[in-house]
Each structure stands twice: as structure tokens, then as C-alpha cells.
Amino acid sequence: MGDQEVRALSGINLEIASGEYVSLMGPSGSGKTTLLNVLGLLDRPNSGRYELDGKDVTDLSEVEQARVRREKIGFVFQSFHLVPRLTAAENIELPLMLAGTAPAERKARVDETLLSFDLLDRARHRPAELSGGQRQRVAIARATILRPTILLADEPTGNLDHRIGAEVMALLEGLHHAGATLILVTHDRELGARAHRRIAMRDGEIVADER
Amino acid sequence: MKLRDTLQLSFNTVASYRTRSLLIVLAMALGVAAVVVLTALGDGARRYVVGKFSSIGTNLIIVLPGRAETAGGFPGAVLAQTPRDLTLEDARFVGQLLQVKRYAPLNVGVAELAAAGRLREVTVLGSTADLLPIRHMNLAQGSFLAQGAEYSAQIILGAKIAQEFFPQGNVIGQRMRLGDRRFLVSGVLAIQGESMGFNSDELVIIPIDHAQALFNTASLFRILVEARSRSDIESAKEAIRDTLKRRHDGEDDVTVITQDAVLATFDRILRALTLGVAGIAAISLAVAGILVMNVMLVAVSQRTAEIGLLKAIGAPSADIRLLFFAEALWLSLAGAALGFVLGQFGSLLIRLAYPQLPAWPPVWASLAGVTIAFVTGILASLLPAARAAQLDPVKALAGR
């Protein structure tokens, strides 16, 4: 507003260990999504440092940041963000394509992923022909096909009904049990309470950090 | 991202926006086709005119009495004021020059032709046996003026004259009266139509001596000269001028024009015309380019969220720029190819509709059309592709 600076985040001092299950909660505008974007290298802080796997990634070049996103980070969005023109299999294949993987290997890995996410019979369907739960499964499959160490989920069940939402959460928690760091943004208290570490935010600041 | 994948992914995108892509391709194709068809028309007209001129003879040099320093006038018009006439003797000297393959003196007049109870005025050419090969004329029947038989009273009829006087055929050997003299028909010209102001279907040809006697003149209207080769034309021209100057007591009182010079002028004019027309057609390609840019910009704003997603899953800006660039490449490629085919087809239709017009699109025009389509399409995609690449991923994901 005017020349008054809006601080989306301030005074954040946070350390997340590898393999943790963290929920970020807070009202809208509290900065939880912004924090998630910074963790996912989609947003750059104006000041401060961000170390990932012991390496300072704050000032990496655009190309290097894209590479880190590709290799270490998997995003899961509330609105799935599937490419409507591509089939489920092609959507899942996208990160492999961006990584420059050879077509034969791509096909093997996509098939394997389709199988483990129970999507084999939906492989040739476009997003419009899939149910909400199936779409989110495709999106999670896409986020994890390059086996990232960090999963960033922004309201992953926000567009799903309770039963399907529970299925998706079970899927994400399963990936966490397999070793991934899971960071979940939600304003659903019940959902947030499932995490081993619960961080509450308000006005861009961390107000609680419970384990 | 591998180039092959970029091309494939962008091809899928182009193919899935069917209507949109089809319209752009059509706009591009029409531009390219316009360039191809219009240059085919222009070049066809050039070939037609040049062909008409060439058909009056090869390596032709025309000698006219009188000096025409003022360009543009018809030199024959100064015949009356000419100080010295061109004579048959002049023509024979010209014919002996080394660079000259053959020559034909020419006299022209109008006389009354009568036979079989019919009567009409005709244009009369007086010449020799070599007129036929020099002017590339053909006989439909009979024989032309016999070599060395200039004194025998033969007459060659134009196709239409023969048809008018002897509709039942059987023309050869018929007697005809031309002016106050009697002639024997020895040949009929093949139908040729009009060229250089003469309609060879409506004239008659008699030996030069008879023509001079008939019109009571010792002077010639022209001497038609065929040089031995194209490279001899210039030196033949000089030699003819020198010879006649010597014979005319050192006075330079003849005009020597070459068919080559006339041809070159027409060639130049019509080439310029073709280029101009091609330029106008190329403007439509630029318009198509702007259309591509517009559509690509719309595509970028429609697919903002998708671009954000690509960035989130690890696509660097360069990959995104290439993706949009490749889309424009496919559209231009399809447009150029379709336009080329349409252009060739259009030219074919013109050739079928007007068989006498050799409307073949010149290779340079087809190449230029396709190249311009390509370049405009690619240039037009630069701005949208850069805009897509520069999108902020957070805002793009939120669809802003």
C-alpha cells in the first residue's frame, strides 16, 4: 500500500532436518505459502540465507536453481497444475523430459511409476477425463518421479472431498516413510496435527514450533 | 531438455490447438502462395513478351534508311526526308560481311489483289528467299520464293488471304493479279498471328524486284540481317554501319537497331514489375507474421499457469523460450510448405487457363516466399517467447 513495504516474511529462522514431516499452518496472508515458495526456490528472499543440503542456494543462477528444483524438490499443488493437453503418462513424463532422460528409460520409469500409483489404466487419459483424486495422484507421481528428497505440498487436499483427501494424505505420508522430507502447507488443523512437527505462522512470522 | 523433445512437445501443442493453428497456417500459406503466384504471373508475362520478340528472329539486326537521333520515334517515318535511299546494292554489300549469316532486303506497300472474282487490298512484302528463315516464318503448303529466282512472278499468300480467296483449298499454282501484274501462287504461310505490328496472316510476299517495279521505287524499306552468332551482333552492327557509310560517300545516314537491345529493355521493365508485385505480396507475409505474434502472445497469457508449473518442476527460462520459439517454427514451417504447394497449384491453374502464358514461378520467388514466411514467423515469436521465459513462477502458478 503506497510506499509502505509489505513484508511477506520476516525474521524467519528455521532449520528442517532431512526426513522430517512438517506442517505449516496459519490464516491466509500469514506467509506460509511464501515460505514454501522460498523453500522450493520459486521465490528469492530479499535478504537472508537459505541452505539446502548444506549448500547455500540463495544466490544460485536461474539455471542452477531450476536444476536444484528438478533434482531435489517435488511440488504438489492444491489445483494439481496438470497440463490439459497431455495424457496422465505424458504429464508424469515431463520432469524426465526436462532432465534430458533418454526416451527408452523415460518409458520404463513412467510405467513403473504408473504402476506404483495405481494409474496404469488411466495412462492414456487426459486430466479432464480423470477424477480429482486421480489428478492429484498424477500430480504426486509427477512430483516424485525424479525421486526428490523434499516434497512441498501446498493444500494438497484443498480441492478434494474428505475421503479422497485422506487417500492422498496417506500417499504423501507413505512417501515420507520411504525417506522424503515432507513439508505440508494447510489451514486444516486436523490435517496439520498429523505432522511430527507443527509450525504456526502469523503476519510473516513463526509464532509456534511444536514437536 | 533435448532438442528432439522440445520439437515434439511444441508440435503436440500446435496440433492440439487445431483451429488456432490452422488459421495461422492458412494466413501464412496465403502470403507465400500470393508471392509464388504473382511472381509466376509476372515472370510468365515477361517470358511471353520476350518470346514474342524472339520469335521474329534470332540475332536479328534491322537496318533502316535515315538517321534517327531522336529516340522513341519510329525511324521508318523519316523515309521521305532521307538523303540517300537504301538500295538492293547496299543490301548485297551488307550480305557479304563476315559476321552476317544471311540477309533479306524488304520493301513494303499496299496493292490490290484479285483472283477468282474476288478483290481486296493487301499489304505486300517484297523480299528474297532468306526472309523465311530470318523471320522464323513457316509455310503451310507449297514452296517459298526460290533462291536466285527473284525475277519469276511467284506470290506467297498469308494464311487468311489464302482462305479468303480459295476457300476450297487447291491454292498452289493459282493465278492472281496484284496491282497491274500477274503472279502464280507458289506457297501459303502457316498461321502465325500478329507480331511486331505485322499480321503475317494477312499479307502477301513477292520477289523484291517485282515489288520495286510494282511500287516504282529503287529504295528499300529495311534490310533484315541475321548475325552469325549472338556474340557477332555488336561487331556486325559496326561493320554494317561502316560499309553503308562508305557506300554513302561517308555520310552516316542509316539507323541500325538490334533486336537484342529491344529485348533487353522489355526484359528489364518486366523483371522490375515482377519484383514490385512480389514485394506487395511479401507485405501480406509481414501481416501474417504480426498475426503469429498476436496469437503467440495470447497463448502465453492463456498458458501462464502451465509456464509456472514448468518452472516449478525445473525448466530453466531457456527451455521455455525454446518451447514457444519451436511452436512458431512449426507454424511457419507448415504455413510455408502449404503456401508453396498452393502457389505451385495456383500457377498450374493459370497455365491451364492461359496456355500461351508460361506462368512458371521463378525459383528465387518460391525460395524468397518460404524464407520470408520463416523469418517473419520466427521474429514474431521472439517477443512472446521472451515474455513467457521471464514470467515469475510464483505469480504464474497463481495464474496472475
What pLDDT is recorded for position B142? 86
CA distance A164 to chain B (A): 23
Count of alpha carbons within 13 angstroms of residue A183, beta-carbon side: 25
Do the chains contact at A98 and B313, CB–CB below 8 Å?
Answer: yes
In a domain, A138, yes or no: yes
In a domain, A50, yes or no: no
* Distance (Å, whole) CA B211 – CA B188: 18
DSSP string, A76-88: E-TT----TTS-H
Contact across the interface for A42 and B9, Cβ inside 8 Å? no
Q: How far is B3 from chain A (nearest CA, A)?
A: 9
Q: Which residue of B has its CA nearest to A84?
A: B306
Full domain range(s) for residue A34: 21-43+58-210
**Mean pLDDT within B335-362:** 92
Q: What is residue B197's predicted lDDT score, i.e. its pLDDT? A: 60
- What's residue B47's pLDDT? 87
- Among A148-162, B41-55, B295-309, B379-393, the range scoring the smallest mean pLDDT is B41-55
- Tell me the pLDDT band of A108, cut-offs 50, 70 and 90: very high
Is the pLDDT score of B319 beyond 90? yes
In the prediction, which pLDDT does B83 show?
60
Q: What are phi and psi of B207, to 5 degrees?
A: -60, 150
In chain B, pLDDT over 70 holds for what percent of residues? 93
Residue B186 included in any domain: yes
Number of A:B CB contacts under 8 A?
Answer: 64
pLDDT at A40 over 70: yes
Number of domains making up chain A: 1
Asked if residue A7 is part of any domain, the answer here is no
Residue B151 pLDDT level (bands cut at 50, 70, 90): low
In terms of domains, do B307 and B224 share one?
no
pLDDT digits (tens, 9 = 90+) for B75-123: 544 444 546 788 888 888 888 888 899 999 999 999 999 888 888 999 9
Residue with cell 557477332: B232
pLDDT at residue B349, rounded to an integer: 94
Residue B228 pLDDT? 87
Confidence at residue B198, expressed as pLDDT on a 0 to 100 scale: 67
Spell out the long-range contacts of B81-88 with Cβ–Cβ below 8 A and sequence spacing 24 or more. B82/B219, B82/B253, B83/B251, B83/B253, B84/B248, B84/B251, B84/B253, B85/B218, B85/B219, B85/B220, B86/B219, B86/B220, B86/B222, B86/B223, B86/B244, B86/B254, B87/B218, B87/B219, B87/B220, B88/B208, B88/B212, B88/B218, B88/B220
Sorting pLDDT into bands at 50, 70 and 90, what band is A15? very high
B5·A81 Cβ contact <8 A: no
Q: For residue A11, what is its C-alpha cell?
A: 525474521
Chain A residues 77-106 with a CB less than 8 Å from chain B: 77, 81, 83, 85-86, 94-95, 97-100
Residue B78 lies in a domain: no
pLDDT of B29 over the 90 cut: yes
Nearest to B313 among A75, A86, A100 (CB): A75
pLDDT tens-digit readout, B267-284: 888 889 888 988 888 888
Residue B242 domain-assigned?
Answer: yes
pLDDT at residue B356 in the model:
85
Same domain, yes or no: B89 and B172: yes
Region for B213 from its dihedrals, namely left if φ exceeds 0, alpha if ψ lies in -120 to 50, beta otherwise: alpha
- Is position A85 within any domain? yes
pLDDT > 50? residue A23: yes
A43-59 in b/e form (b: 16+ CB < 10 A) is beeeeeebebeeeebbe
- Say whether both B305 and B246 belong to one domain: no
Cβ neighbours for B47, distance < 8 A, ≥ 6 positions apart = B358, B360
Q: Tell me how many domains chain B contains.
A: 2
Which whole number is the average pLDDT over B198-205?
83
Per the CB < 8 A criterion, the answer to whether B254 and B65 are in contact is yes
In a domain, B22, yes or no: yes
Average pLDDT, integer, range B371-388: 90
pLDDT at B57 over 90: no
At B149 the pLDDT is 60
A3: pLDDT confidence band, cut at 50, 70 and 90?
low
Examine the fold and report which residue of B199, B230, B252 is the final residue of a domain before the chain moves on: B252
Centroid of chain to Cα B152: 41
Residue B357 lies in a domain: yes
Mean pLDDT for B174-194 is 86
A15 compared with B234, residue with greater pLDDT? A15
Cβ–Cβ < 8 Å for A166, A194: no
Are residues A42 and B316, on separate chains, in Cβ contact within 8 Å? no
Which of helix, strand or coil describes residue B205?
A: strand
- d(CA B24, CA B289) in angstroms, rounded, equals 9
The Cα A189–Cα A198 span in angstroms is 10
Half-sphere exposure of B307 (CA within 13 A, CB side): 29
**What integer is the mean pLDDT of A177-184?**
94
Q: Give me the CATH number covering residue A184.
A: 3.40.50.300
| SS3 call for B214 | helix
The pLDDT assigned to B71 comes to 43
- Residue that terminates a domain, selected from B221, B252, B283: B252
What pLDDT is recorded for position B253? 81
Pairing of strands A21-25, A197-202: parallel
Let me know if residue B258 belongs to a domain: no
Q: What pLDDT sits at residue B194?
A: 64
Q: Does A148 touch chain B (CB under 8 A)?
A: no
Task: Choose between B207 and B259: higher pLDDT.
Answer: B207
Distance from CA of B314 to the nearest CA of A (A): 4
Query: How confident is the model at residue B80, as a pLDDT?
Result: 46
Range of the domain at B10: 3-53+264-397
CB contact set of B39 (below 8 Å; sequence gap of 6+): B274, B277, B278, B281, B361, B362, B365
ipTM of model: 0.92
Residues A81, B311: C-beta atoms closer than 8 Å: no
| Residue B108 and residue B240 in contact, taking contact as beta carbons nearer than 8 Å | no
pLDDT at A179: 92
Note whether residue B74 is domain-resident. Answer: no
Distance CA A5, CA B372 (A): 50
The B-side interface with A (CB below 8 A) comprises 1-2, 5, 9, 12-13, 16, 305-306, 308-319, 393-394, 397
* Rounded-to-integer distance, Cα B321 and Cα B133, Å: 68
**Which among B5, B306, B394 is the nearest to A97, CB-wise?**
B5
Contact B343, B37 (CB under 8 A): yes
Instruction: Decide if A120 is inside a domain.
Output: yes
Look at residues B200, B219, B252 and tell me which one is the last residue of a structural domain. Answer: B252
Beta-carbon-side half-sphere exposure of residue B233 (alpha carbons within 13 Å): 16
B70 has pLDDT over 50: no
The closest of B199, B195, B371, B346 to B282, measured between CA atoms, is B371
| Rounded distance between C-alpha atoms, residue B325 and residue B389, angstroms | 11
Q: Terminal CA-to-CA distance of chain B, rounded, Å? A: 26
Q: Evaluate if residue A143 carries a pLDDT over 90.
A: yes
Task: Say whether pLDDT at B372 is over 50.
Answer: yes
Mean pLDDT (whole number) for A142-150 = 93
- Note whether A157 and A124 are within 8 A (CB): no
Per residue in A42-76, pLDDT tens? 998 888 899 999 899 988 999 999 999 999 999 99
Please check whether residues B106 and B236 belong to one and the same domain. Answer: yes
Q: Measured between CB atoms, which of A42, A63, A83 is closest to B306?
A: A83
